[in-house]
Structure 1
Amino acid sequence: MIVLHTLVRFIGGSPQFRIRESLDTEAPYYVYYGQSDLMDDLTRVHMTRADSKEVHTRDEVHILSCGDIVFSLITGKAAIVQLAHDGYLYTQNYIKLLPVSTIDAGFLVYLLNENQSIRKQFFISLQGSQVLKYTLQQLKEIRIEKLPLLGRQRQIGELYLQQLHLTALKNRAAELEKIICLAKLAEAGK
């Protein structure tokens, strides 16, 4: 068995309560990375939102870059940051994962989100907790079975991410179809 901390470097997010907002409009401007952003990155389907929280600050903060792997300590889900969220500020509710060259990013996301052994390890470590929030220590201590060859990891990771994308597109199409149908029914009822 391989322990995750031997495959990945972990960088915690900026403590949100310590970020001092600046009234100076010349101060760097950041948008906070949130749970809906993570789900957009996971499915590769982006929704424009007007409710994103933003801040001007001169404080040193942690930001995400396109291609980073981010893990939510709230939901236990991981995603690869897409271009739409490049430069977003991430808080202490998220951990940036920097894998070593022996593990593919997409495969790591697949493992963290779907592997039954890992899910079970998280479940066991959360038992008895009052607050169901994952910790960095739990994440670091995850045990992984022998890794497939890097080429196979890439195939599995890409197939997983493509399937999530396809499912999200189908769900969006079904929702739009429902809206159109309801509009037609409302029109026909007049």
Structure 2
Amino acid sequence: MKLTKIVKLNVGSPQFRINATNDQQAQVYPFYSQVDLEEELTGIYDNMAKNKQIRTHDEVNLLHGGEVIFNLVSGRAAVVSTRHDGYIYTQNFVVLNPTSQLNSQYLVYLLNENHGIQHQLQVGLQGSMVLKYTVRQLRELRLPQLPEYRQQVIIGQIYFKQLRLQALQIRRANNETLLKFAKLAEVSSDEKKHDRIGF
């Protein structure tokens, strides 16, 4: 079954066509980024990060929590969180809105992990000068046979929980490494002080 049979695609706003203004009455919009997408997958967010913004009177494509977003550059998909409501998505992104037949988290799992879909996307890149996926490729994707909806929900939930667990384990390992390096630096500093005093 073709993706477009049960998924509606909306392409992002071309960034170069958005006219910025200094008019203080105009709306300010933050841009959605690949970093945001990766954070959606793990549920771990950097609250200190600042997204690029634009002030404009133009009509632009905005995100809404619960939508599936696909990055045409990285080939990765995620479910948009409510924290990114009202963010602009540019031409590097496509929003996918599945019908009631297809669970959003399960769709993300398929796009990111299914070997058949990955193969279809990779074949479309062959011979291309720029390694970027296209909206046409997405439209031409053929989905595997879908399990019943309840099973889709379970698979999608397990997938996202596993991604979060993996991210937390990596963060913990990185923190432990930083702590060990800090202790080594402290020991090294103490030895230098001791050498100076002994000298």
More helix by share: 2
Q: Which residue of 2 aligns with 1:153?
A: 152
How far did residue 85 of structure 1 move?
1.8
Tell me the secondary structure at the aligned position of residue 9 of structure 2.
Answer: strand
Query: Could you tell me how far apart the structure 2 residues matched to 1:159 and 1:61 are?
Result: 34
- RMSD value, Cα: 1.1
- Does residue 59 in structure 1 map to residue 55 in structure 2? no
Query: Could you tell me how far apart the structure 2 residues matched to 1:182 and 1:24 are?
Result: 50
Query: Could you tell me how far apart the structure 2 residues matched to 1:138 and 1:85 are?
Result: 26
Query: Could you tell me how far apart the structure 1 residues matched to 2:24 and 2:183 are?
Result: 47
Structure number with bigger Rg: 2
- Does residue 24 in structure 1 map to residue 23 in structure 2? yes
2:150 partner amino acid: G
Match runs of 1:2-41 below 5 Å:
2-41=1-40
Q: Deviations over 1:76-105 (max 9, x none)?
A: 110001123222110010000000000000
How far did residue 51 of structure 1 move?
4.8
Q: Which consecutive unaligned segments of at least 5 residues does structure 1 have? A: none
How far did residue 40 of structure 1 move?
0.5
Q: Which residue of 2 aligns with 1:105?
A: 104
Q: Which residue of 2 aligns with 1:143?
A: 142
Q: Which consecutive unaligned segments of at least 5 residues does structure 2 have? A: 190-199
1:32 partner amino acid: F
Q: Deviations over 1:58-79 (max 9, x none)?
A: 1111111111110000011100
2:104 partner amino acid: A
Query: Once the two structures are aligned, what percentage of the paired residues are identical?
Result: 45
Match runs of 1:129-140 below 5 Å:
129-140=128-139
Tell me the secondary structure at the aligned position of residue 172 of structure 2.
Answer: helix
Scaled by the length of structure 1, the TM-score of the pair is: 0.96
Query: Could you tell me how far apart the structure 2 residues matched to 1:182 and 1:144 are?
Result: 48
Tell me the secondary structure at the aligned position of residue 110 of structure 2.
Answer: helix
How far did residue 24 of structure 1 move?
1.6
Aligned residues: 189
Q: 1:50 to 1:44 in 2, by over 3 A?
A: closer
Query: Could you tell me how far apart the structure 2 residues matched to 1:188 and 1:83 are?
Result: 46
Query: Could you tell me how far apart the structure 1 residues matched to 2:48 and 2:131 are?
Result: 27
Q: 1:49 to 1:129 in 2, by over 3 A?
A: farther
Q: Which residue of 2 aligns with 1:43?
A: 42
Runs of 4+ in 1 over 6 A off after TM superposition: none
Moved more, 81-90 or 124-133: 81-90
Scaled by the length of structure 2, the TM-score of the pair is: 0.92
Match runs of 1:168-187 below 5 Å:
168-187=167-186
